[in-house]
Amino acid sequence: MTDRSAARQLPGAPARAPLLRPRSWYLALAGLAAMAVPTFIRVAEQSWSTETGAHGPIVAASGAWLLFHTWRAKPQEQVSPLAWWAIAFASLAIWLVYVVSRAFDFLVFEVFAVWCMSVCIVYRLVGLAELRRLAFPLFYLAFLIPLPGSLVRLITEPLKTLVSWSAAGLVQAAGYPVARQGVSIAVSQYQFLVEDACSGLNSLTGLVAISLFYIYVLHRSSPLYALGLLAVVVPIAVAVNIARVLALILMTYYYGDQVAQGFMHATTGLILYGGAIVIIFALDILFQRFRMSVAHA
């Protein structure tokens, strides 16, 4: 059977390397799986089991679904020889980064290498035009890459200060015996620190990822509206964590430190995280109704 893309090639045009044949797909995907499976077992053990990476399983499942439903099986173009060699050298460099990162337990670079190799393989499977169509699913899956510890500390410090200052100020205004020094809050005879998990970064990362998925599925044709809706995610994430610290202060005051720092510590985070998602969806419905009313006015 004649290759259609080869048949359309003009006389005298430079030769192009064909895309991977269907039999080669399985070999390429098997090689990627050999890299990805042990890496994501480590990610699940070191990141997904903590509040920092709790959004990982959701992103992995929804990203795989999005990639599956966006993928088109028929390739639309061939790959130029220059691009083929560039991808080959890039794949070799990525593999070396993967090996070194895995050997020295650099999880961030290891996951990043797996993601980069995925992009290279997708390009070799379906070409540049199809890769552009898959740009958002691949970008969305990049949320699986854990944030470097130095970056987390850089972002969380001002967020922890803002959250602790706001929550303590609200409780003090209501007349409760609360004192704050930095990110340390004293409640009656108890004292606790606003940790990284309460800073808002974890909620912000997860909410941005889920909101991006929601916006892309429902509003991919309205980029300005999507950006406007995404902009409200940041203040919602900060407000949710202020509410969480506020709830923990009140629980500490009325029920003691063991209750606030025990089961209820994680439970309040889950409840408020779910509430933040509901707020985003509700705002989307309100914004849609407002746009419809303005359009019909």
Give the whole-angstrom CA distance, residue 245 versus residue 164: 7
Give all strands of the β-sheet with 190-193 in edge-to-edge order: 178-181, 184-187, 190-193
- Compute the Cα dihedral for 98, 100, 103, 104 and give only its sign: negative
Nearest to 84, CA basis, from 16, 14, 2, 166: 16
Residue 110 CB neighbours (<10 A)? 26
Task: Identify any residues that bridge with 179 across adjacent strands, giving them in sequence order.
Answer: 186
Angle, in degrees to the nearest 10, between helices 201-219 and 56-70: 20
Angle, in degrees to the nearest 10, between helices 22-43 and 107-133: 140
**Dihedral pair phi/psi, residue 42, rounded to 5°:** -65, -40
Residues that are catalytic: 198, 244
Are the C-beta atoms of residues 159 and 199 closer than 8 Å to each other? yes
Query: What number of residues does the chain have?
Result: 297
Task: Identify the DSSP state of 145.
Answer: S
Nearest to 121, CA basis, from 138, 104, 108, 136: 138
